[in-house]
Amino acid sequence: MRNFVIATRESRLALWQAEHVKALLEQRGHGVSLLGMTTRGDQILDRSLSKVGGKGLFVKELELALEEGRADLAVHSLKDVPMDLPAGFALACVMEREDPRDALVSPKYASLAELPQGAVVGTSSLRRVVLLRALRPDVKIEPLRGNLDTRLRKLDEGLYDAIVLAAAGLKRLGLSGRIRQTFEPSEMLPSAGQGALAIEVRSDRADLLELLEPLSDHRTWLAVAAERAVSRAMGGSCSMPLAAHATFSGEYLQLAAAWGEPEGNAPLVRAMDAAAIADLEQAAALGAGIAARLRAAGAH
């Protein structure tokens, strides 16, 4: 049995995720400790991620700890992981997905439809901005940064009438009671990888790649591989108003994507396809095909 160090951000949700992996490894007889870190993404809260370097700001410090040998593995929310990892790093596994949907949280209103005209809705996701505009073009969308607890505090202080968060984070922290409405993917298509946890290691750690493989969920990995392939083919980052979500129906993986203009009132560009998927290469091909359809329909 081995002793391992997990690098993690220090937000309450990130620590929950790291503790979850820690418990699974301890069940297998390993010793595990956590290395808590504050990333640039946690420090810069006055500007949107799209303007300061993207979601990679949440993982760079953790990757440095892996590179320097201070940690053996890093646990991430997969939607925060760049589509292409730096040389020398690899995803060892993608774990079974929690609820991938978006959720509306509000102290006053039970649904998006109940919000009065001109209500203030908080989100800093360009994807959510364009999807919210398609559903309620009359509401006012304002930036909202910070970890989950910070966002909820800002809502409770009255700065917003409602905010939109990932349902998975609320559920993992036992905050399901804060959810007023869960958006079905047909209403608000999730972000690529939303709700899934990924474990990153140095690519030369064959021991860890083998050790962590049993923690992976094969179908979740195939689904998110297709979603991330859409983003990768579109040059995706958090500065792109792009959604991609895949679900299995039998052996067929159904993949839907949506892209919107962040400014103006142009309609959303949508694409959908399905294919029998058995490996990561087939999943990536499905995603690349969806991206081609988006571009053909006017997405850029």
Tokens in use for 257?
């994507």
Q: Are 105 and 170 in contact (CB under 8 A)?
A: yes
* Strands 120-122, 162-166: pairing kind: parallel
User: How is the beta sheet containing 3-9 ordered, strand by strand?
Assistant: 31-37, 3-9, 73-77, 197-202, 89-94
Of 230, 244, 123, nearest to 191 by C-alpha is 244
The reply to whether 204 belongs to the active site is no
Tokens in use for 221?
């990995």
Q: Counting every residue, how long is the chain?
A: 300
Q: Rounded to a whole number, what is the distance in angstroms from the first to the last CA of the chain?
A: 50
CB atoms within 10 A of CB 109: 17
The active-site residue, picked from 80, 99, 102, 161, is 80
Q: How far apart are CA 199 and CA 216, in angstroms?
A: 9
**Mind giving me the DSSP string for 239-262?**
TS-EEEEEEEETTEEEEEEEE--S
Q: How far apart are CA 93 and CA 211, in angstroms?
A: 10
Tokens in use for 25?
């490894």
Q: What are the residue numbers of the active site?
A: 80
